[in-house]
Amino acid sequence: MNVIVYSAKPYDRLYLEEANQKAGHNLLFVEATLSEETAGLAKGRDAACIFVNDRADRAVLTSLYEGGTRFIALRCAGFNNVDLPAVKDLGMCVVRVPAYSPHAVAEHTVALMQTLNRKIHRAYNRIREGNFALQGLLGFDLHGKTVGVIGTGRIGAIVARILRAGYGCEVLAYDVQPQAELEKMGVRYASLDEVISRCDVLTLHCPLTPETHHLINADTIHAMKPGVMIVNTSRGGLVDTAAVIEALKDGRIGSLAIDVYEEEADLFFEDLSGTVIRDDVFARLTTLPNVLITGHQAYFTEEALRNIADTTIGNLTEYEKNHRCVNAVHCDRMRRRDGSRGCAGKEVCPCEPDK
């Protein structure tokens, strides 16, 4: 297949080229992110391979379609950046990498939690400057604390296990589809209201959808335990950042760790150290000592990059051979305007054009 790979960093290229050795797809790597301005680069390419901050809205998809592209291969699990109804209308196909290393993200989540709790980021700087004072570094035992896991899919389930079995936390969980396996190990599912209001630490692992957008907002923050720690390694849009900053300022939120940010597309994955950060909300966050930020690196392990590359190349090959793909983002995952989900057998799914 003739493929354009958007947002291609040297590490993406390395792993994709290795995975493509046998498959032999024609890969064109471009550093640009996909947008209305850059969609023209895909002209004549069968497939566009994109990542989390590439924008595949209706205008961009239409432009890709007009240039001959029919296949969108996401190098990630989340697909909130793709306008699925537009994909369906155009008859395109979107595939993703449903799981590349849930362990990578889960382990990073717990690393953030403990770095923030025990103030390792501050201690690191102090020691380098010969400051061995402990004042300001006081943490708490995670053991025995109540941690709320919102979204217990692949990643959330591992986080829940680590916290329950490893740290001895009380784990309260909320998910629209509870997992019996987790309940067997002592995780207790509860309503969203109960999880929000009872936990010392809240960690977010549900996808970004219209229902979960700004799940953490002024109202939900108001219902939380004073001093709560919030960790978000899922998607930035789950959190109303302005509301969180207000709550951090008056102490209602005790601390915040994020690997994702709602306006991250203009910041993350680039070296901006020589430029002025124009996003004042983000800049304010970086001034707070009780805020820890990583730039969407939770997934960034060797294992995950290898899995992403292998699955992406496999997706391209499978679609080329069969015109369908096991990792297609099916229309049953789409929410229609009338609130129903999926085609329910009433129409042809554009993700499986030969059915």
Q: Pick from 153, 237, 254, 350: which binds ligand NAD (CB under 6 A)?
A: 153
**Binding residues for ligand NAD restricted to 233-292, rule: CB under 6 A:** 233-235, 259-260
Q: To the nearest whole angstrom, how small is the minimum distance from the Cβ of residue 152 to ligand NAD? A: 5
The first and second tokens of residue 322, run together, are 């069969």
The first and second tokens of residue 312, run together, are 């992406």
| CA distance linking residue 238 with residue 49, whole number of Å | 25
Q: To the nearest whole angstrom, how small is the minimum distance from the Cβ of residue 43 to ligand NAD? A: 30
Q: Pick from 63, 117, 212, 241: which binds ligand NAD (CB under 6 A)?
A: 212
Q: Pick from 15, 71, 174, 268: which binds ligand NAD (CB under 6 A)?
A: 174
Contact string 60-99 vs ligand NAD (x = CB under 6 A): -----------------xx--------------------x
Of 129-137, 174-182, 284-292, 318-326, which part binds ligand NAD (CB under 6 A)? 174-182
Indicate the SS3 state at residue 257.
strand
Q: Pick from 34, 206, 239, 331: which binds ligand NAD (CB under 6 A)?
A: 206
Indicate the SS3 state at residue 154.
helix
Nearest to 201 by CA among 169, 179, 235, 223: 169
Q: Are 57 and 347 in contact (CB under 8 A)?
A: no
Indicate the SS3 state at residue 316.
helix
Q: Pick from 176, 185, 242, 277: which binds ligand NAD (CB under 6 A)?
A: 176
Residue closest to ligand NAD, measured at CB:
153
Q: To the nearest whole angstrom, how small is the minimum distance from the Cβ of residue 304 to ligand NAD? A: 8
Q: To the nearest whole angstrom, how small is the minimum distance from the Cβ of residue 45 to ligand NAD? A: 26
Does residue number 150 form part of the binding site for ligand NAD (CB under 6 A)?
yes
Burial classification of residue 295, based on how many CB atoms lie within 10 Å of its CB (0-12 exposed, 13-18 middle, 19 or more buried): middle
Q: Count CB neighbours of 95 within 10 A.
A: 26
264 noted as active-site residue? yes
Nearest to 50 by CA among 23, 29, 19: 29
Residue whose token pair is 């760790």: 257
Which DSSP category does 328 fall into? B
58 noted as active-site residue? no
Q: Are 78 and 54 in contact (CB under 8 A)?
A: no
The residues carrying an active-site annotation are 235, 264, 296
Binding site for ligand NAD (CB under 6 A): 77-78, 99, 102, 105, 150-156, 174-177, 205-209, 211-212, 233-235, 259-260, 296, 298-299
